[in-house]
């Protein structure tokens, strides 16, 4: 490690040494994340849900469709990693990023810049992403081997769209923790993590309030980071429509914006200006991706519950 | 009056900002549930609001000024009792929400006692967890507990509970649901009681008895 790295606030002269600092901090932060009870419970519940998905109300060819059990399951997969790993990760990473423990205080004194510490925290968010990816891959393999043919709207999606739906769940699982880091960096209030989690939940609830095929209803639906691909109640059915490929791009943009927001805290001068410029560019592309997700792709539909959808 | 000054000192040591902030957020969510999204008790928004209320109560047990407070000659139980009164405020907020909701005759009405039991259990478990964690040496555990409660009520709506228990059902018609909330409330009360005990009080009592002999 170069001597420059050992001086707090002074950026490393060597990119390799700087990367090593980031990796070292990330390793410590991963251990701290794995000590967060909320995250451990979230991972356990996610794995439980993922493992049992192909065996619990799995609407394959042998599944008996009735009005009671319906066929709403299976394509609602993206909300599983989103709500468990996304929200659980948000709360846990918010706690980790605030450094509210003895290890956190030690890390604050570590010879690294704020940007390096933020980058390390963003790297830690790959842990829930890896868990979400493993679960998504497991369920996707089941989808391809023994398709849930009777799942609502199953026949309306191509394989690549189904793949995109899976990726949406993974991105939600990484975006939640990244948002937790960004919020911890900019909003040190003790209630910040819980209120941010609630705001995300309300956004998700709002996304399914407007159950019609209007463009603004679709826009609100697609804008929510946590949203169902299809939705039904005891009496009605709603399919989101729009392009899931572009929705993946939109969610990736949100993740990147959260990471940039986290990294921007503590930077000054040219470094801050550069991050702002990149953020504006990414923000613009994210908005374009949202509009494309809303206005391209197949049309959504809304109506009385219909097992054939 | 030592008691009055100690009470004033204890109340000054409470971090009222987070308590009121979480309470205001909960009130906003519950107000949204009653107006913009009239879905009522049992909906996601209502449960999230309830969890935030419980979190607000928990913030009253945070000890940002632990060093100063511990020098006041009062027992931990007394201090916890003073702070836990915020829990009554949170419960009052939940009951007010229930009353307002029940006044809307056009909507389905859950059993009032089931609603109060669930709200009371949420607040109690929030206080209990915070009290236990404070005793375990964490001065400000409420942020984690509040987030954990929000996560928990959401998870209870997604994960099937063994024994076919519908934890979020407020109809009052399922005995298993009532038992589940009663157990949660008891666990919270046990945590609060354990967290309120002075460390080593058992030994002091033993020493006092020995001195009496």
Count of CB pairs separated by less than 8 Å, A with B? 99
For residues A282 and A279, what is the distance between their CA atoms, to the nearest angstrom? 5
Global ipTM: 0.81
* Mutation target among A35, A179, A180, A191 for the B interface, most CBs of B within 10 A: A191
Contact list in A for residue B59 (CB cut-off 8 A) is 190-191
- The reply to whether A51 falls in a domain is yes
Cβ distance B80 to B196 under 8 Å?
A: yes
Residue predicted with more confidence, A298 or A195:
A195
Q: Which residues pair with residue A232 across a beta bridge? A: A237
User: Mean pLDDT over all residues of chain B?
Assistant: 82
Containing B139, the helix (H) or strand (E) segment is none
Residue B108, min C-alpha distance to chain A (Å) = 16
- Across chain B, which distance is largest between two alpha carbons, in Å? 70
B45 touches chain A (CB under 8 A): yes
Closest listed residue to residue B9, CA positions, set B67, B88, B86:
B67
* B22/A195 Cβ within 8 A: yes
Contact list in B for residue A79 (CB cut-off 8 A) is 158
Residues in chain B: 213
pLDDT, position A61:
74
Cβ distance A21 to A116 under 8 Å?
A: yes
Q: How many CA atoms lie within 13 A of A188 on its CB side?
A: 4
Q: Is the pLDDT at B209 greater than 60, yes or no?
A: no
pLDDT, position A67:
58
pLDDT, position B203:
44
Residue B143, min C-alpha distance to chain A (Å) = 5
Query: CB count, 10 Å around CB of A142?
Result: 18
Cβ distance B59 to B126 under 8 Å?
A: no
Residue A36, min C-alpha distance to chain B (Å) = 9
Domain with A296, as residue range(s), is: 3-304
Which of A36-45, A91-100, B85-94, B100-109 is predicted with the least confidence, judged by mean pLDDT?
B100-109
* B154/A87 Cβ within 8 A: yes
Domain with B150, as residue range(s), is: 2-212
Q: For chain A, what is the HEC assignment?
A: CCHHHHCCCCCCCCHHHHHHHHHHHHHHHHHHHCCCHHHHHHHHHHHHHHHHHHHCCCCCCCCCCCCCCCCCCCCCCCHHHHHHHHHHHHHHHHHHHHCCCHHHHHHHCCCCCHHHHHHHHHHHCHHHHHHHHHHHHHHHHHHHHCCCCCCCCHHHCCHHHHHHHHHHHHHHHHHHHHHHHHHHHHCCCCCHHHHHHHHHHHHHHHHCCCCCCCHHHHHHHHHCCCCCCEEECCCEEEECCCCHHHHHHHHHHHHHHHHHHHHHCCCCHHHHHHHHHHHHHHHHHHHHHHHHHHHCCCCCEEEECCCCC
Contact list in B for residue A55 (CB cut-off 8 A) is none
B59 touches chain A (CB under 8 A): yes
Q: Using DSSP, state whether B185 is helix, strand or coil.
A: helix
Residue predicted with more confidence, A58 or A164:
A164
Domain count, chain B: 1
Closest CB to A190 among B142, B154, B155: B142
Which residue in chain A has the smallest CA separation from B155?
A84
Closest CB to A191 among B18, B44, B160: B18
pLDDT, position A105:
62
Domain count, chain A: 1
Residue predicted with more confidence, A26 or A155:
A26
Which residue in chain A has the smallest CA separation from B57?
A191
* B143/A95 Cβ within 8 A: yes
* B18/A87 Cβ within 8 A: no
B48 touches chain A (CB under 8 A): yes
User: Mean pLDDT over all residues of chain A?
Assistant: 83
Residue with tokens 């911890």: A184
Which residue in chain A has the smallest CA separation from B48?
A198
- The reply to whether A309 falls in a domain is no
pLDDT, position A3:
39
pLDDT, position B213:
45
pLDDT, position A275:
94
* Mutation target among A33, A194, A200 for the B interface, most CBs of B within 10 A: A194
At A219, give phi and psi (nearest 5°): -65, -45
Helix, strand, coil percent values for chain B (each to nearest 5): 70, 0, 25
In Å, how far are A26, A106, A267, B82, B180 from A21, measured between CA atoms?
Answer: 8, 15, 17, 47, 48
Instruction: Give tens-digit pLDDT for A229-283.
Output: 777 666 667 777 789 999 999 999 999 999 999 999 988 889 899 999 999 999 9
Which residue in chain A has the smallest CA separation from B154?
A83
Which chain B residues in 141-180 lie under 8 Å from chain A, judged by CB atoms?
142-144, 146-151, 154-155, 158-160
Cβ burial, residue B14 (10 Å; 0-12/13-18/19+): buried
Using 50, 70 and 90 to split pLDDT, how confident is the model at B27?
Answer: very high
Closest CB to B148 among A38, A56, A190: A38
Maximum average pLDDT range among A164-178, B25-39, B149-163, B166-180: A164-178
Q: Is the pLDDT at A217 greater than 50, yes or no?
A: yes
Q: Is the pLDDT at A40 greater than 90, yes or no?
A: yes
């Amino acid at each position: 490690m170069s001597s420059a790295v050992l001086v707090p606030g002074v950026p490393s002269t060597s990119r390799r040494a700087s990367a090593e600092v980031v990796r070292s901090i990330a390793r410590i932060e991963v251990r701290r994340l794995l000590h967060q009870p909320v995250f451990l419970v979230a991972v356990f519940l996610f794995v439980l849900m993922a493992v049992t998905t192909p065996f619990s109300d799995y609407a394959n060819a042998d599944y008996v469709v009735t009005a009671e059990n319906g066929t709403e399951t299976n394509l609602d997969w993206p909300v599983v990693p989103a709500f468990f790993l996304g929200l659980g990760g948000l709360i846990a990473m918010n706690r980790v990023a605030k450094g509210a423990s003895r290890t956190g205080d030690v890390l604050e004194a570590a010879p690294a810049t704020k940007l390096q510490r933020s980058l390390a925290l963003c790297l830690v968010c790959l842990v829930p992403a890896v868990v979400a990816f493993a679960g998504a891959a497991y369920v996707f393999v089941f989808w391809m081997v023994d398709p849930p043919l009777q799942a609502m709207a199953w026949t309306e999606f191509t394989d690549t769209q189904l793949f995109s739906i899976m990726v949406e769940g993974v991105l939600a699982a990484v975006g939640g923790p990244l948002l937790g880091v960004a919020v911890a960096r900019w909003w040190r209030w003790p209630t910040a993590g819980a209120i941010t989690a609630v705001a995300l939940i309300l956004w998700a609830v709002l996304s399914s309030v407007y159950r019609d095929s209007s463009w603004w209803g679709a826009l609100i639906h697609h804008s929510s980071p946590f949203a169902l691909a299809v939705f039904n109640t005891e009496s009605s059915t709603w399919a989101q429509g729009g392009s899931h490929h572009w929705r993946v791009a939109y969610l990736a943009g949100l993740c990147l914006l959260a990471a940039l927001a986290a990294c921007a805290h503590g930077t000054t001068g040219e470094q801050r200006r550069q991050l702002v410029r990149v953020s504006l560019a990414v923000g613009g592309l994210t908005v374009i991706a949202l509009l494309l997700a809303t206005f391209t792709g197949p049309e959504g539909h809304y109506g009385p519950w219909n097992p054939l959808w | 009056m030592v008691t009055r000054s100690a009470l004033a000192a204890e109340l000054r040591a409470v971090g009222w900002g987070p308590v009121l902030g979480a309470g205001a957020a909960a009130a906003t969510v519950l107000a949204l549930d009653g107006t913009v999204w009239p879905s009522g008790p049992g909906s996601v928004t209502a449960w999230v609001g309830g969890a935030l209320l419980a979190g607000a109560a928990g913030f009253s047990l945070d000890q940002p000024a632990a060093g100063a407070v511990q020098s006041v000659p009062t027992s931990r139980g007394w201090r916890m009792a003073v702070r836990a009164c915020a829990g009554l405020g949170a419960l009052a907020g939940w009951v007010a929400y229930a009353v307002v909701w029940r006044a809307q005759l056009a909507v389905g009405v859950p059993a009032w006692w089931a609603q109060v039991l669930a709200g009371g259990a949420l607040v109690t478990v929030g206080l209990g967890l915070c009290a236990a964690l404070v005793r375990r040496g964490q001065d400000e555990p409420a942020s984690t507990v509040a987030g954990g409660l929000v996560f928990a009520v959401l998870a209870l709506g997604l994960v099937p509970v063994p024994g076919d228990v519908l934890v979020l059902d407020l109809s009052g018609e399922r005995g298993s649901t009532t038992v589940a909330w009663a157990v949660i409330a008891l666990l919270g009360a046990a945590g609060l009681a354990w967290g309120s005990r002075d460390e080593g009080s058992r030994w002091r009592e033993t020493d006092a008895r020995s001195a009496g002999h």
